[in-house]
A and B are shown apart, each in its own frame.
Chain A
Amino acid sequence: MKEIINNIQEKFKISEVTEQRENQYFISVEKKDTIQLVTYLKDIEKFTNFILLTAVDWIEKGQFQLTYMLNHPSKKLDIGVRTFIERENATMDSAHHLWEHVATFQRELKEMFGIDFPGSPRVDEPFLLEGWDNIPPMRRDFDTKKYSEETYFPRPGRSTNDPAEHMKKKLYPNE
Chain B
Amino acid sequence: MAEEKNYKIIQPDNSEENKFLKPENYKREVTAPDGNTFIVDPLNDYFCDAKPQPHAPNTIKVVEKFLNWARSQSIWVLGFGTGCGSIEIYPLMTPRFDAYRFGVQQRPTPRQSNLMIISGYLSVKTLKRAIRSYEQMQSPKFVMALGSCTINGGMYWDSYNTINRLDHYMPVDVYVAGCMPRPEALLAGFMELKKRIREGKGEGANQYAENFDWYKANQKKIIKDWNMPDYNW
Contact = CB atoms under 8 A, between A and B. Distances in A.
A18 interface: no
Main secondary structure of the interface of A (DSSP, over half): loop
Contacts of A126: 225
Given A130-B225, A131-B223, A154 B124 contact: no
A9 interface: no
Contacts of B125: 128-130
B158 A130 contact: no
A144 B165 contact: no
Interface string B42-70: 00000000000000000000000000000
A137 B224 contact: no
Contacts of A131: 20, 223-226
Interface stretch (B100-108, B149-157, B201-209): B149-157
A137 B124 CA distance: 14
Contact of B168 (A129, A130, A153, A158): A153
16 contacts: A128-B161, A129-B124, A129-B125, A130-B124, A131-B224, A131-B226, A144-B159, A148-B159, A148-B164, A149-B158, A152-B163, A153-B165, A153-B218, A154-B153, A155-B164, A158-B157
B165 A155 contact: yes
B161 A129 contact: yes
B224 A152 contact: no
Contact of B224 (A133, A145, A147, A149): A133
A144 to B, nearest CB: 4
Interface string B158-177: 11111111001000000000
Contacts of B163: 152-153
Contact-residue bracket for chain A: 20 to 34
B152 A152 contact: no
A172 interface: no
Interface residues of B, number: 25
B163 to A, nearest CB: 5
A152 to B, nearest CB: 4
B153 A155 contact: yes
A58 B76 CA distance: 51
A158 B152 contact: yes
Given A154-B153, A154-B164, A155-B151, A148 B225 contact: no
A128 B158 contact: no
The winner among A151, A153, A154 for most chain B CB atoms within 10 A is A153
B87 interface: no
Interface in B202-233: 218, 221-226
Contact of A147 (B123, B153, B160): B160
